[in-house]
A and B are shown apart, each in its own frame.
Chain A
Amino acid sequence: MDFLILLDFLIPATGAGKAILAAVLLGAGSGLLGSFVVLRRMALMGDAISHAVLPGVVAGLIYSPERSPVFIFLCAATAGVLGAGLVRAMMATTRLKSDTALGIVLAFFFAFGIMWQSRNQESTAGVMNFLFGNIGAINADDLRMMIIATVCLCTVVFILKRPLLVVSFDEGFSRGLGYPVRILNAVFYFLLTFSVVVALQAVGVVLVSAMLVTPAAAAYLLTDRFGKMLLLSMAFGVFSGVVGGVVSANINGMPTGPVITLAATAVFAATYFLAPQHGVLAKLFRKVRRRRRVHRENTLKAIYQIQEAGGFSYDHVSLIELARKRRHTEDHARKECAELLRHGFVELSSDGHAVSLTTPGWKRAMEMVRNHRLWELYLTNEANYADDHVHEDAEKIEHILGVNTVRQLEQDLDFPELDPHGKPIPQPQLIVPPIA
């Protein structure tokens, strides 16, 4: 038992230190498993398991008057695994769908726990700590248990990281690789129940599922790499655990679980709006920018087409003409040209009523017209579209075609010179504008 003595060095003497260590363990355990839960779309399974451990907790409290953490832990884990097994059995043998099976197990186990507890109220006085969490009530024995469980959890996940990951993403593929999928799934349910039980005293039965889902979902919005997601979700879990512990310790009678949950939700809300790649604001920003670019490119194209209709003989294109072509007012055309001017695609004539394309403007406009006409040709020649059906499609795709796709199209179509309507396809790589 030497290592147990070693553990005692890790456990801080002060109450605040214990609470913080508990928060760290809780965040680490549930953040780790939570990432898998979010990826496997099993958030509601986590909820069902966390409610299903209640009868185990009650049994632990009743049959162990000295509150042995190991005993309570084992009872709770047994109840959780039993609940998960019952869900699987119900789904395998009846027509009930997964959501109903989860709901049944959640409700039945929880009600059974409540009923049992109400029968033995004096021996289960601490049950409220397990229901809504009380990080301040965690003592050295509980911490020792939590440390051992968390270390086991992390070790197993670290060893089995690869197979667990493959099973999470694609069960059929992992079966093809020869992994024992059923065993891995069973291991996963065990680990999930373990992490729920570790978090139990700090967060409580009712809200443990928040610790499984919310930090991991926040991490999921921040990164595309699984390893990073694991670390981030553990960090978020620890952060919300510490914040919740500190805040609830300073408000009289406030259970820890709800405060931790709200802290985790605040982290999620922040990433929901601000995440650089998948955040709502970043997406909105990208959308606005794309719409503006499409607008600019359409104006450039209109100027090019006006020039083309005049045989590239004019120096300038008047704003009235542009407005007529774009079917807008002159004011609107002026705004569009101001936007182009800002990007250096056009120059304004001396009287301010006409514009001429600069060299980059010519290049961009020719690219757009080329993309459009190439695509029209591709659709008529290779995809057998009628030539009066291709314009709408090309109107959208011209803004998206990349350099490589254009080169591929040119090769496939054998470097064409005319589009299906008989108009010439410009060659922007020559850069020389037709009127220069």
Chain B
Amino acid sequence: MESLSLNLSLSCHLLRNMNYFTIPWDNLGIGAFWLMLMAFLVALPCSQMGSFLILRRMALTGDAISHSVFPGVVIAFVLIGDLASPWLIVGAGLAGLASTVFIELIHRKTRVKQDAATGISFTALFALGVVLMESMLGKNVDLDLDCVLHGRLGLLLEEHHVEMFGTMVPQPILVMAGVALLTLVMMVIFYRVLLLSSFDSGLAASYGYKPLVIHYCLMFVVSFIVVAAFQAVGAILVIALLILPGAAAYLCSCRLKAMLFLAGLHALLSAVGGLYLHVWFNTDMAAAVVVCGGVLLLLAWLLGPVDGLMWKWLR
């Protein structure tokens, strides 16, 4: 009798333990998988481009772009009226380009330094975006301050679904999969150029790869990814997806290929961990993904094979 009750309580305990890991699936069913996949598909292209931004010491240019594409998105949205339209990407690309042009105009033509020029340009464009949004859009549209902060990842399961291979797939996932695939293909094609110009732009220039062209192409690709990610995680948290995976991977490896792989892995782990944080603590999914990525980065800082604090202390 006693052994039976012990057995029961043990299995209850086990069941509860199991519960922690199956809660998402119990609550959301296949939706949990879609959420996780979406987070991963957003984080993956960001992680790859972000790695290059970090190597080129342009991490905060990524930040500036992610803020300054916003007015472009708002204007395109006012004209088109659809958040899924490809014109949004064009508008955002132009706004991103405008911010880089403003930065250059300010710090080339006056004695204001580059950091201040960056700060002025992107805050101004972001503020312009918010003011345009508040004054030109009604209260009942999907694009609002909440969307700027949190993105629309949480609304994924309510989006339009499309049938594919016999299952219903939320449409944003298909779009994001396209973006991720395109980015990866581009990266494989231009890997050599990116590698060379990131580490030694002088050498790259002597091979005939023009640094300015590469710079603007990279900026355009980053704006493109940022817009795609903007809808998922909001304008401000995009920077996290750009920087955190690359930085964590940078702490763990000295080889670029390994770094890119680890950054992708970081994106996957933070998507999975983000889902669990989201469900366990009942929080916003986008922020949960980023916090999980941050925790992974702290782990890399402590235990990373190259820069880990632990090994330095032990030595």
Residues of A at under 8 Å CB distance from B? Answer: 37-38, 41-44, 46-47, 51, 90, 93-97, 99-100, 102-104, 106-108, 110-112, 114-116, 118-119, 128, 131-132, 206-207, 209-210, 212-214, 216-217, 220-221, 251, 253-255, 257-259, 261-262, 265, 268, 272, 278-280, 283
Contact of A93 (CB < 8 Å), options: B113, B135, B312: B312
The minimal Cβ–Cβ distance linking B306 to chain A, given in whole angstroms, is: 8
9 pairs, CB–CB < 8 Å, chain A vs chain B: A42-B115, A95-B251, A99-B57, A103-B63, A111-B294, A115-B283, A209-B123, A213-B116, A258-B134
**Which chain A residues border B135 with CB–CB below 8 Å?**
251, 254
Kindly report which residue of chain B lies nearest to residue A109, judged by CB atoms.
B294
Once A106-B239, A255-B134 are accepted as A-B contacts, the answer to whether A210 and B284 lie under 8 Å apart by CB is no
Docked CA distance A116–B106 (Å) = 38
Docked CA distance A216–B120 (Å) = 10
Asked if B266 CB lies within 8 Å of chain A CBs, one says no
Kindly report which residue of chain B lies nearest to residue A112, judged by CB atoms.
B291
| Contact of A96 with B127 in the complex, beta carbons under 8 Å | no
A interface secondary structure, majority: helix
The minimal Cβ–Cβ distance linking B279 to chain A, given in whole angstroms, is: 12
| Contact of A111 with B290 in the complex, beta carbons under 8 Å | yes
**Which chain B residues border A110 with CB–CB below 8 Å?**
236-237, 240
**Which chain A residues border B118 with CB–CB below 8 Å?**
43-44
| Contact of B112 with A221 in the complex, beta carbons under 8 Å | yes
Kindly report which residue of chain A lies nearest to residue B243, judged by CB atoms.
A103
**Which chain B residues border A255 with CB–CB below 8 Å?**
130, 134, 145
The minimal Cβ–Cβ distance linking A7 to chain B, given in whole angstroms, is: 32
| Contact of A207 with B123 in the complex, beta carbons under 8 Å | yes
Once A96-B251, A110-B236, A272-B106 are accepted as A-B contacts, the answer to whether A214 and B284 lie under 8 Å apart by CB is no
Contact with A along B13-31 (1 / 0, CB 8 A): 0000000000000000000
Once A42-B115, A96-B251, A259-B131 are accepted as A-B contacts, the answer to whether A112 and B120 lie under 8 Å apart by CB is no
Contact of B58 (CB < 8 Å), options: A51, A93, A99: A99
| Contact of A265 with B236 in the complex, beta carbons under 8 Å | no
Shortest Cβ-Cβ A-B pairs, 7 listed: A107-B240, A111-B290, A210-B123, A118-B284, A108-B294, A261-B127, A258-B127
Given A47-B119, A110-B236, A115-B287, 5 additional A-B pairs, CB 8 A: A103-B63, A110-B237, A217-B117, A261-B124, A278-B111
Docked CA distance A95–B244 (Å) = 15
| Contact of A100 with B126 in the complex, beta carbons under 8 Å | no
**Which chain A residues border B307 with CB–CB below 8 Å?**
93-96
**Which chain A residues border B237 with CB–CB below 8 Å?**
107, 110-111, 114
| Contact of A280 with B287 in the complex, beta carbons under 8 Å | no
Asked if B288 CB lies within 8 Å of chain A CBs, one says yes
Name the residue in B58, B116, B237, B277 with the highest tally of chain A Cβ atoms < 10 Å from its Cβ.
B116
Docked CA distance A299–B126 (Å) = 52
Counting contact residues on chain B (CB < 8 A from A), the size range is 35 or more
Asked if B54 CB lies within 8 Å of chain A CBs, one says yes
**Which chain B residues border A213 with CB–CB below 8 Å?**
116, 119-120, 123
| Contact of A43 with B119 in the complex, beta carbons under 8 Å | yes
Kindly report which residue of chain B lies nearest to residue A260, judged by CB atoms.
B127
Contact with A along B294-315 (1 / 0, CB 8 A): 1001000100001101001000
Q: Which B95-131 residues have a C-beta within 8 angstroms of A?
A: 106, 109-113, 115-120, 123-124, 126-128, 130-131
**Which chain A residues border B309 with CB–CB below 8 Å?**
93
**Which chain A residues border B239 with CB–CB below 8 Å?**
103, 106-107
**Which chain A residues border B301 with CB–CB below 8 Å?**
90, 93-94
The minimal Cβ–Cβ distance linking A121 to chain B, given in whole angstroms, is: 10
**Which chain B residues border A41 with CB–CB below 8 Å?**
113, 115-116
Asked if B281 CB lies within 8 Å of chain A CBs, one says yes
| Contact of B111 with A220 in the complex, beta carbons under 8 Å | yes
The minimal Cβ–Cβ distance linking B176 to chain A, given in whole angstroms, is: 20
| Contact of A115 with B284 in the complex, beta carbons under 8 Å | yes
Asked if B150 CB lies within 8 Å of chain A CBs, one says yes
Docked CA distance A259–B150 (Å) = 22
Docked CA distance A37–B116 (Å) = 9
| Contact of A261 with B290 in the complex, beta carbons under 8 Å | no
Kindly report which residue of chain B lies nearest to residue A113, judged by CB atoms.
B287
| Contact of A210 with B120 in the complex, beta carbons under 8 Å | yes
